[in-house]
Amino acid sequence: MEPAIIEKWPGRTYELTIGATKEEGGSRSKKVKLGGMSTLPFLFFEGTIPNPPAVAMEVWDVEPTDWPDVLKNEYGDVLTDPAKWAKKCEEFGCDLICLRLKSADPDLKNSSADEITKTVKNVLSATSLPLIIVGCGNNEKDSSIIMSISESTKGENCLLGVATKENYKTFTAAALSGGHSIIAETPLDINLEKQLNILITDMGFSSDRIVIHPSTGGLGYGFEYCYTIIERTRLAALSGDKMMSQPIINFIGQETWKTKECKADETEKPEWGALKERGVLWETTTSVGYIQAGSDIIVVNHPSSVKEVRNYIQKLMIK
């Protein structure tokens, strides 16, 4: 039965492609298309949703030390080799690889731009999936390596991140020169979110090549604030606000696997059930919440979460 109230929205979100095939100057076997929605998530009776949300898996260039064993064990011995790790993720069935260049962190290995680009190139040859490449999270360091990352992946149409209010100029210039898209991150503030998009486009960067990271809060750790921000962003886009119409990314894995719910073992919390299932449930449930809010890319860590989330998306994409 058709619902009684159907909204007619004047706007739609930008459609964005990540990855480039050989014919397009890249080396990816497939591309991922995002966005283009003319209604809220999965409301097919109201508008069109040409592309399903995409699921990305993280690959780090250092071995994670604080991951719980239930997560580590899924990867076996590949966690020390980003190229092998990426290949493994491709086998797990994700749409995109999210390469996180942790080793650049001055508090960790403080890897140089040369070392970083070598890793990036190794991962590019190991997997044929489109790439999201994010820095270590240190603004200064990320600004110093982003240009060489961008140059070394020219033509691959990657998604580079993360640009913030502090470093967006360097990131935008880098993304422009390498022909990549960019992640714009703001601290859970819809006004700053819009402002950063304007600042980036003021530099001549196309507004349809930005992906918004409105911040990600884990389930039980701020998820509902993020949900509200994403929902408001989507409503603004559908009302025609072009500075809020960009696809949205959320890093679910990094906010999931540090929670006590995904780490505390069964002897400590017997009433919480099996730890093995708990983490995946937590990551899957959080992802599903973000997808319902309007997120376009979900970045997760556990292979079972990839499977569960994709399964869920498939079911909801049936018109």
Partner 1 sequence: MFIIGEKINGMFKNVSEAIATKNKLIIQELAKKQLEAGADALDVNVGPASADPLKDMEWLITVIREVTGMPLAVDTTKLAVMEKGLSLAGPGSFLNSTSGQKEKLDLLLPLAKKYNSKVIALTMNKSGVPANAEARLEIAANIVAAAMEHGIETENLYIDAVILPVNVAQDHARAVLETIKQCKLICDPPPKTILGLSNVSQGTLNRPLVDKTFLVMALALGLDAAILNPLDKELMDSMITAELLLGKNIYCDSYLDAYRKK
Would you tell me which residues interact with partner 1 (CB under 8 A)?
190-195, 198-199, 201-202, 207, 232, 236, 240-244
Residue 85 CB, shortest distance to partner 1, in Å, is 39
Residue 8 CB, shortest distance to partner 1, in Å, is 11
Pick the closer one to partner 1 by CB: 43 or 199.
Answer: 199
Residue 203 CB, shortest distance to partner 1, in Å, is 13
The CA R_g of the chain, rounded to the nearest whole Å, is 19
Residue 59 CB, shortest distance to partner 1, in Å, is 34
The closest of 16, 102, 100 to 51, measured between CA atoms, is 16
Residue 40 CB, shortest distance to partner 1, in Å, is 17
Pick the closer one to partner 1 by CB: 78 or 190.
Answer: 190
Q: Is residue 233 within 8 Å of 223, Cβ to Cβ?
A: no
CA distance 255 to 263: 12
For residue 297, list its beta bridge partners: 54, 249
CA distance 41 to 30: 24
Pick the closer one to partner 1 by CB: 194 or 307.
Answer: 194
Q: What backbone phi and psi angles, to 5 degrees, belong to 185?
A: -110, 135
Q: How far is CA 180 from CA 150, 167, 218, 256, 318, in A?
A: 7, 16, 28, 28, 32
Pick the closer one to partner 1 by CB: 91 or 189.
Answer: 189
Task: For residue 82, give the DSSP letter.
Answer: H
Residue 193 CB, shortest distance to partner 1, in Å, is 8
Pick the closer one to partner 1 by CB: 176 or 190.
Answer: 190
Residue 248 CB, shortest distance to partner 1, in Å, is 15
Pick the closer one to partner 1 by CB: 65 or 191.
Answer: 191
Pick the closer one to partner 1 by CB: 139 or 207.
Answer: 207
Q: Residues 204-207: contacts with CB within 8 Å, 24+ apart?
A: 204/176, 205/172, 205/175, 205/176, 207/14, 207/242, 207/243, 207/245, 207/246
> Hunting for tokens 């995904």 — which residue is that?
262
